[in-house]
Structure 1
Amino acid sequence: MPSELYRCVYYSKNLIAGGPARIAEEIESILAAARRNNPTLQVTGALVFNRGLFAQVLEGPCPSVESLFEKISRDERHGDIQVLAFRAVPERLFSNWSMAFLGRSREDENLFGHIGPQTGFSTERLEGDRLLEIVRNLAFEEEARAA
């Protein structure tokens, strides 16, 4: 019997030390690991990064999502991790991506800017459903630009 599908939405503070080149290296490392490991775990999702903050959506069988989130929780590149939503869902929103990445373009940064440098990466106004909507919209816009 297949495991029930779950979605985890969280954010964390970026603790990667160094300049833009070092940060880009670490982001690429995170993405490479996700794209290599997530298909085996049956996990899909999207990662948003805007210099000071990570936001991520993970979807998949509950044991896989829990295990992956525990691993992320221990990753020294993430700090002050806050889960905004963790619940069973009827379907995936990111079924086309083992791990979509949003944050390379100026548009991505601007759309996520309400929790950017000008607010000190304040997450006070962040809610799970709103973050999910932002990430989903960014992913679909990015896919449309690439097509």
Structure 2
Amino acid sequence: MLAQLVYVSSRKNTCNDFEIEKILAACQKNNPHVDATGVLLYSQDKFIQYLEGEAKQLLALFDKIKQDPRHEKVRMISYGPIKEKAFPSWHMATKKLSKKDVDYKTHISLQDKKIFAQLLQGEQPEASKVLSMLKQFFD
């Protein structure tokens, strides 16, 4: 079954930009083997990652992610079946978020800004809004 999984976590102070490059390199090396794709948004203190692939593979990958010492307070925001991948060719795309001001690439409503703020806090917004919210950073 094809599925999506979204989590948010707190980035540890010891996780510098070089560590982010290592995360991306590992994703690009390992994700094709399990046909996992997705996006990673990060700031000085948060990670938000959207993953898509086979459900069992995603859960196994999430178990590994939870053990990564570069972050803590890992919280699943969304998990469920999907009909098709939103990012079929991206084994992992990344976007750095400014701590002070998020640079939205498209028009975003006040409601969507509120939903994104909830995501950053690890609160579970409407599951149907998670993907559309994250896509706004990459369209």
TM-score tier after normalising by the smaller chain length: 0.7 to 0.9
What whole-Å deviation, never above 9, does each CA across 1:9-43 have from its counterpart, x for those lacking one?
A: 111010142xxxx6110100000000000011100
**Distance verdict in 2 for CA 1:114–1:13, change over 3 Å:** farther
Residue of structure 2 equivalent to 1:38: 31
Distance 1:101 1:124, change over 3 A: closer
Q: Of 101, 109, 121, which aligns to 1:123?
A: 121
Query: After TM superposition, which residue ranges in structure 1, 4 or more long, deviate above 6 angstroms?
Result: 113-116
Summarize the alignment of residues 1-147 of structure 1 with structure 2, pairs less than 5 Å apart: 4-17=1-14, 23-103=16-96, 109-111=102-104, 123=121, 127=125, 128-140=127-139
**Alpha-carbon distance change, 105 to 38 in structure 1, aligned in 2, over 3 angstroms:** same
Unaligned runs of 5+ in 2: 105-112
> 3-state SS of the aligned residue for 1:80?
strand
TM-score in terms of structure 1 length: 0.75
Aligned mates of 2:120, 2:34 — CA distance in 1 = 32
| Superposed displacement of residue 133, structure 1 | 2.1
Q: How many residues align?
A: 129
Q: Pick the structure with more helix per residue.
A: 1
Asked if structure 2 preserves the Cα contact closer than 8 Å seen for 1:16 and 1:26, the reply is no
Q: TM-score, normalised by structure 2?
A: 0.79
TM superposition shift of 1:81: 1.1
Which consecutive residues of structure 1, in runs of 5 or more, have no partner in the other structure?
Answer: 141-147
